[in-house]
Structure 1
Amino acid sequence: MPRLPHPTPEELRRDPLPLRGRTALVTGASRRGGIGHAVARRLAAYGASVYLHHHVPHDAEQPWGADRPEDVAESVRGALGDPGARVVAGPGDLAGPDVPGELVGRAAEALGGRLDILVANHAQSGFDGALDDIDPEMLDRHWAVDTRSVILLVQAYARRRAALPPRTPGGRVVMMTSGQDMGGGMPRELAYALQKGALASVTRSLATTLAEHAVTVNTVNPGPVDTDYLTGDDYDAVAALFPAGRWGMPDDPARLIAWLATDEAEWVTGQVIDSEGGFRR
C-alpha cells in the first residue's frame, strides 16, 4: 500500500517503547563498563527482550577484568521498559566455528523463538602488534573472533529471518568497526584493524543480501570510548582531542545503535556510521 507523503500526527508522536515486543542478541556484554552492556540497557529501556552473550575468560585475562554475568544481567534488567520483556545471559567462545550458529539458536529460543536484532559488539582485545610483531597466530585469532564469527552470526540470523513471513518488520543487524581507515590508522594494532576493516567493507554487501528479508545492516565506529582501559596522562591526552573535552562514554554509541534498531531507522542501511564526537586524530 502506498504511503502518504507526510506522516499523520499519530505517526509523528514517538512511542516511548519503540522496541516493545522485539528481541535482541548483544554479543560481548561481559562487563558493566563496556559498550555491549550500554547497548543492552538502551534496547531494554526501549522495550526489547535481550539476550546477553559473554565470554568471561577473555575479559578476565585483560587488565580491566570481567564482571559476574548475573551482575551484568541484573543491571540490564533494571532498565527494562516493558515489564513483560526478558533478559537472559549466556556464554560462548566465538573463536569456535560452530559457536556463532549455536548462540543465535540459543538466543532465539530463550526469547520466544524469534530474533529481531543482532548487535555484534564482541572483539578480541590485545594479542596484536605492529608490522614487525604480528605473526600468523595473531592474524588467525583476530580473524576468527573479529570477522569470521560475525559473518557466521549474520548467516545464522539471516536463516532464521528467512523462515518468517515475508517482510516481517524489525530485522536489524549492527556491526562494530574502529575507524581504522581514518587519520593515521592503527599501526600498532594491525591484526585488529585488518579484521575490523573487513566488516566495514562488507557492510553494503550484507545490506543488499538481507534487504529481501526487510533487514537493515549497518556498522558503527564509536571512536575512543572510555571502557576503563586507559588512565593517567594518556587518558587526558585523548580527552583533549575531543571538542567536548571528554572521552566518548559507552552510552554515546549505545544511543545510536538503539535508534538504528527502531522503525525510525528503517530507511538507513548499508552504512558505516561514525559516532565519535568530532574526535581529532
Structure 2
Amino acid sequence: MPLLPHPTPEQLRRDPLPLRGRTALVTGASRRGGIGHAVARRLVAYGARVHLHHHVPHDAAMPWGADRPEDVVASVREAAPDPSRAQVTHGPGDLTEPGGPALLCATAAEALGGRVDVLVANHALSGDDGPLDAIDQDRLDRHWAVDTRSVILLVQAYARLRAALPTRTPGGRVVMMTSGQDIAGGMPEEIAYSLQKGALASATRTLATTLAELAVTVNTVNPGPVDTDYLSGAVYEQIAGRFPSGRWGMPDDPARLIAWLATDEAEWITGNVIDSEGGLRR
C-alpha cells in the first residue's frame, strides 16, 4: 500500500497504549532511583511487556546502594494500565562475561514470548575513573568492557534475534546511552567513561545503517545531569543553577524521550545522538 502524503484522521488519533503488543529489554535496572527503572515504567505504561536486567553487585558497591530486584519489578508493574495483568520479568547478568550479552537477549526473548522489539542499553560502570594523569590500562579496560563492548555485543545479539523474525517485522528499536562528552567542556575528570561512551555515540549512525534492513531504528540519548541519588550538597545546588528551570533532570525526563523513540511515531528517526539536557548551560 503506497504511503499517503498526509495521515488519515484515524491515523492521527493517538493510541493511549502505543506499545501494546511490543516487548522490551531494559538493562541496568537495579534500583528505583535510576534511569533504567524510569524507562521501564514508561514502556509498561505504554503497554509493552518488559524484561529488566540487573547487576546488583555493581550498585551494591556504590554509595547509593541497590534495591531488591523484586521491589524494582513491583514499582515498574504498578505503572501499567492494569498492574494485575502486566508482564514484567527480570534477571541478573554480568555483561562483561563471555557470552553474557547473547545469553541476556536469549533469556529476555524467551521470557517475553519469543522476541525482543525494543532494546534500551542503559547499563554503565560507575566510578573507578579519573583525569588523564590518573587513569591506567586496567581502568580503561574495565570501562571498555562494560560501557562499550557489552553494548555492541548486545546489539549484535538483538539483531540476530530480529533477523530470525519474518521479513522486516515492524517496531524494532535500539536506544543506547551517552553522556554529553562531545559538548563544550567535555568530561576531563572522567576520561575512561567519556571515551567509552563517546565510542557509542560515534557508532550510532553505523549501527543504524546496519540494522535498517531489519526495520530497526538506532538512536543514542544523552540524558544530561540526572538526579539519581549520587550527588548532594553545594555541588548539587551549583549544577541545578545551570538549568534554566533551576532543577536537575529527573529520571523520568530522559525516560519520556526514550519511550517515545520506541513508538511508531518515531519510526523516521534513526542514526541520531539526541541531547535531553533541559537547556543546561555549560
Q: Does 1:61 align with 2:61?
A: yes
In structure 2, C-alpha distance between the alignment counterparts of 1:102 and 1:279, rounded to whole Å: 38
Q: What are structure 2's unaligned runs of at least 5 residues?
A: none
Q: Does 1:147 align with 2:148?
A: yes
Aligned to 1:32: 32
Shift, 1:171, TM fit: 0.2
Aligned to 2:241: 240
In structure 2, C-alpha distance between the alignment counterparts of 1:183 and 1:238, rounded to whole Å: 15
Aligned to 1:193: 194
What's the secondary structure of 1:241's corresponding residue?
A: coil
Q: Does 1:89 align with 2:90?
A: yes
What's the secondary structure of 1:18's corresponding residue?
A: coil
In structure 1, C-alpha distance between the alignment counterparts of 2:143 and 2:4, rounded to whole Å: 47
Aligned to 1:104: 105
Q: Does 1:253 align with 2:254?
A: yes
What's the secondary structure of 2:148's corresponding residue?
A: helix
Render the CA deviation track for 1:33-89: whole Å, top value 9, x for unaligned: 000000000000000000000000000110100000000000001011356441001
Shift, 1:193, TM fit: 0.3
What's the secondary structure of 1:272's corresponding residue?
A: strand
Q: Does 1:156 align with 2:149?
A: no
Aligned to 1:221: 222
Q: CA RMSD in A?
A: 0.8
After TM superposition, the structure 1 = structure 2 runs for residues 116-155 of structure 1, keeping only pairs within 5 Å, are 116-155=117-156
Q: Does 1:262 align with 2:263?
A: yes
Give the stretch that moved more between structures: 93-102 or 10-19: 93-102
Render the CA deviation track for 1:151-180: whole Å, top value 9, x for unaligned: 000000000100111111110000000000
Shift, 1:94, TM fit: 1.2
Q: What are structure 1's unaligned runs of at least 5 residues?
A: none
- TM value normalised by structure 1: 0.99
CA contact (8 A) 1:97 1:149 kept: no
In structure 2, C-alpha distance between the alignment counterparts of 1:275 and 1:89, rounded to whole Å: 27
Aligned to 2:280: 279
What's the secondary structure of 1:217's corresponding residue?
A: strand
Shift, 1:4, TM fit: 1.2
In structure 2, C-alpha distance between the alignment counterparts of 1:49 and 1:179, rounded to whole Å: 30
After TM superposition, the structure 1 = structure 2 runs for residues 12-23 of structure 1, keeping only pairs within 5 Å, are 12-23=12-23
In structure 1, C-alpha distance between the alignment counterparts of 2:3 and 2:189, rounded to whole Å: 50
What's the secondary structure of 1:24's corresponding residue?
A: strand
Q: What is the identity, as a one-letter code, of the residue corresponding to 2:68?
A: R
In structure 2, C-alpha distance between the alignment counterparts of 1:103 and 1:201, rounded to whole Å: 24
Q: What is the identity, as a one-letter code, of the residue corresponding to 1:27?
A: T
Q: Does 1:9 align with 2:44?
A: no
Give the stretch that moved more between structures: 178-187 or 196-205: 178-187
Shift, 1:95, TM fit: 1.6
In structure 2, C-alpha distance between the alignment counterparts of 1:241 and 1:143, rounded to whole Å: 30
Give the stretch that moved more between structures: 77-86 or 174-183: 77-86
Q: Does 1:205 align with 2:206?
A: yes
In structure 2, C-alpha distance between the alignment counterparts of 1:141 and 1:149, rounded to whole Å: 11
In structure 2, C-alpha distance between the alignment counterparts of 1:207 and 1:85, rounded to whole Å: 31
In structure 1, C-alpha distance between the alignment counterparts of 2:221 and 2:192, rounded to whole Å: 19
Q: Which runs of 4+ in 1 moved over 6 A?
A: none
Aligned to 1:183: 184
In structure 1, C-alpha distance between the alignment counterparts of 2:105 and 2:174, rounded to whole Å: 13
What's the secondary structure of 2:219's corresponding residue?
A: strand
- TM value normalised by structure 2: 0.98
